[in-house]
Amino acid sequence: MSRLLLACVFALMGVFGIAGTSIAEEGANVVVAAQQTTAVNPAPDVNAPQEPSPEVRQETKRKLWIGAIALGLFALVYYRNKKRWVKWRKERAAKKG
């Protein structure tokens, strides 16, 4: 059970690692502008965008697909190695006893 939990943690770290690198690349091109300090508007913006732009949605979908494919491949490799390990243990036990 603990191996499966560890595998899930590594898979999630990989997914968030993919997302984190993209955010870091986008953040590198940010230009900071001086803000006026005289006019403070504490009210929320009425015309705030409610949905992300289509480019952001496409990027998010792409990252989710990459993460799902990586998780699927990881599961296949884990399952294959688990079957090999069980087979190896049975053969080893048969040789000893």
Structural domain count of the chain? 1
Tokens read off for 36: 């006026």
Q: Residue 80 is part of which domain span?
A: 1-25+58-97
Q: Please report whether residue 44 resides in a domain.
A: no
pLDDT exceeds cutoff 60 at 22: no
Instruction: Give the pLDDT score at 66.
Output: 98
Q: Please report whether residue 9 resides in a domain.
A: yes
Report pTM. 0.45
Please name the residue ranges forming H helices in 1-97.
Answer: 2-27, 54-96
Length of the chain: 97
Q: What is the enclosing helix (H) or strand (E) of 39?
A: none
d(CA 28, CA 51): 24
CA 62: distance to chain centroid? 11
* Mean pLDDT, range 4-21, rounded to an integer: 69
Q: Please report whether residue 45 resides in a domain.
A: no
Q: Please report whether residue 30 resides in a domain.
A: no
pLDDT tens digit sequence for 62-97:
999 999 999 999 999 999 999 999 999 999 999 987
Select the more confidently predicted residue: 96 or 24.
96
The answer to whether the beta carbons of residues 65 and 18 sit under 8 Å apart is no
